[in-house]
A and B are shown apart, each in its own frame.
Chain A
Amino acid sequence: MTQIIIQGLLLSGLYALIAMGFTLIFSVGRVLNLAYGAYLMVGGYTFFWISQTLGAPTLIGVIAAGLIGAAFGAIKYFGIVRTLRGNHVAIEISTLILAVVTQAAVVLVFGDSSKILLPILPGVWQVAGASVTLNILTAAIASWVILIGLWLFVTRTHTGRAIQAVSMDPKGAALSGVDPDRMNLIVWTISGFLGALAGVFFASYTQLYPGMWVAPLIISVAVVIVGGIGSIWGTLVVAHIIGFLEVLVPSRLMADLIGVDTSSLRGVVTMLLIIGVLVIRPRGLFGRAEL
């Protein structure tokens, strides 16, 4: 039981961090960024290269990953999103193409085989009979710090409030002297930064391989559909629902409780949750009514 709660909390923190950058773009620009998973991949591989191949300190590796991710996001905004402005379908499809191109580039540079990232912090922490690797604990704590920082940025700073304004009504924001173009650029940059950081932790949780961008994309998709758009706390809550479900469903406890072996149903439940929410409440649990 304790084990489930602890593991659930840790996994959910990671999921919240992964989904946040994706939700941010979807809320502000109303655009699906299918290349979002590629940020995570770029972040993970940058970290791998800087800190494991070059042997730089871990912190420098993390920061470099974030910066590269941010640059990637900004370049994508200038290269694709601004050029195709207004044509959402075209943006979505070109981000899908970009994701596959990024995957091919990663194969070209780092090869096809999967790489194991050394833990960011080695060691194991024993708590209440459950053992937790310090690595995933760091990931969860870092997620929380980053999420709180993001929340403070969005609600307390002028730029953050301007971003919220653009998310609610781009025309109204423009009339009030906010430059939507600049806000979009900021959001795409932040999203790239967050995605790359999440990628470092996600990669240390699983593995580095060229197809690793799909799973985080699916997680982000699930969080956005279930949570709806426009709320950081909504994203956080839904990330916890999904994180706990994914820990709970394959566990022994669940199997004992309902008498069926559910160990292989981990991914299925998340997808069923999506369909259920769509049928009952298409705009998501916390979304603004607009779709």
Chain B
Amino acid sequence: MIRWHHVLLWVVFLAVLMALPPVLEALGFKKGLLRTLIWGAYIAVFAMSWDFLSGRTGYISFGHPFLIGIGAYTTAILSYRFDVPVAASIPIAVAVTVVGSIFFILPALRVRGSYFALVTLAFMELMYQLTQVIRPDLTGGTRGISGIETLTRGAVNGYYLAIVVMFCVALVLWTLNRTRLGTALSAIGQNEDAVSGSGLDPTKLKLFAFAISAAVAGLGGAFLVHYQGSVAPRALFDINFVFTIIVAALIGGAGTILGPMAGAFFLIVLLEYLRPWLPGAERYLIYGGIALVLYMIQPKGIHAIIRHLARPNPAGQR
């Protein structure tokens, strides 16, 4: 059920996000922080996409960048090589991501659990190899494509675009989660055989979750390309990128909408603020260390920790 206070909270959330740039400027923060927040917003979109598939159904995807990459490359190639307007290339990219990913995932749905995770990892590697080999005149090979048309100029505009994308994705996924469909998807995560015993088709449900997840990932990837103006295989199909997405989703709290967003901003801002003390890749040591400890303490993430602190005795609350 959607109640009035939900609507109110969403409006307040949007208002806070919208008010941030002037407030931050008034407080004397630099534009660099906005760039960090933009990156955080895109990571949040990817984390929500990952969470809709993996956090709910328990089918862990270790190859999520392969979905992001399909969207990113489709729009990059269309707009850079064929001069398709961005207004058309982004929707096409989303559609291609959904169709392409379903084509890929059908074999993967034959296996369960750990095998599924293995297969997604293999898909990411396959995409990494393919983008460099198949038609390098289109994909730009190892170096990728740069000089792609950007949608916005300046950090403030980029921020507003990223926030709107993130907000819309969050709202749609949140609404989906509250339908019977969302409940069924969570049920797969708990006991797939019971779902199938209740007369629901788990394969169809998983396919649906995967398609939604792919659409969101493709959308995020496409907008990210038109924000950055470039795309390159090594930065995209990278296991460190997978790590950032999964950790953002899990630290915030899997199976929720607010969790992945909170986790993304928490980790991206943390990573940024470690920069003065630890330049370079060493930051990942602290970052990964914090993630590992947090995860070992509470696998359900900050969301669960806060909920636990707010209501010390959650028994009977659910």
Contacts and interface: CB of A to CB of B under 8 A. Distances in A.
A184 to B, nearest CB: 16
Given A214-B239, A268-B129, A268-B133, A100 B114 contact: no
Contacts of A175: none
A224 B122 CA distance: 11
A267 B107 CA distance: 19
B60 A93 contact: yes
A225 B282 contact: no
A96 B62 contact: yes
Interface in B103-140: 107-108, 110-115, 117-119, 121-123, 125-126, 129-130, 132-133
A101 B114 contact: no
Given A210-B281, A225-B122, A97 B133 contact: no
B111 A291 contact: yes
Given A96-B243, A221-B118, A291-B115, A104 B126 contact: no
A271 B60 contact: no
Interface size class of B (residues with CB under 8 A): 35 or more
A196 to B, nearest CB: 20
A101 B288 contact: yes
Interface residues of A, number: 47
Contacts of B243: 96-97, 100
Nearest to B242: A96
Interface in A20-42: 26, 30-32, 34
Contacts of A224: 118
A179 interface: no
A169 interface: no
Nearest to B112: A291
A105 B132 contact: no
Interface in A66-101: 80, 83-84, 87-90, 92-94, 96-101
A274 interface: yes
A80 B284 CA distance: 19
B155 to A, nearest CB: 28
Nearest to B292: A97
A97 B291 contact: yes
Given A80-B296, A93-B295, A97-B247, A221 B122 contact: yes
A89 B284 contact: no
B280 A101 contact: no
A101 B295 contact: no
Main secondary structure of the interface of A (DSSP, over half): helix
A218 B122 contact: yes
Contacts of A92: 60, 114, 117
A53 interface: no
Nearest to B284: A104
Contacts of A30: 114
Nearest to A108: B282
B250 interface: yes
Contact of B292 (A89, A94, A291): A94
A74 B107 CA distance: 35
A92 B246 CA distance: 11
The CB with the most chain B CB atoms within 10 A, among A93, A103, A105, A268, is that of A93
A103 B284 contact: yes
A181 interface: no
B114 to A, nearest CB: 5
B280 A271 contact: no
B285 A271 contact: no
B111 A267 contact: no
A248 to B, nearest CB: 17
B229 interface: no
The CB with the most chain B CB atoms within 10 A, among A34, A96, A214, A265, is that of A96
A253 interface: no
Interface of B: 58, 60, 62, 107-108, 110-115, 117-119, 121-123, 125-126, 129-130, 132-133, 239-240, 242-243, 246-247, 250, 280-285, 287-289, 291-292, 295-296, 299
Listed from nearest, the 7 A-B pairs whose CB atoms lie closest are A101-B288, A104-B285, A271-B126, A104-B284, A267-B129, A107-B281, A278-B107
Interface of A: 26, 30-32, 34, 80, 83-84, 87-90, 92-94, 96-101, 103-105, 107-108, 112, 210, 214, 217-218, 221-222, 224-225, 264-265, 267-268, 271-272, 274-275, 278-279, 282, 291
Given A92-B117, A272-B126, 6 more contacts: A31-B114, A90-B295, A104-B282, A218-B122, A282-B115, A291-B111
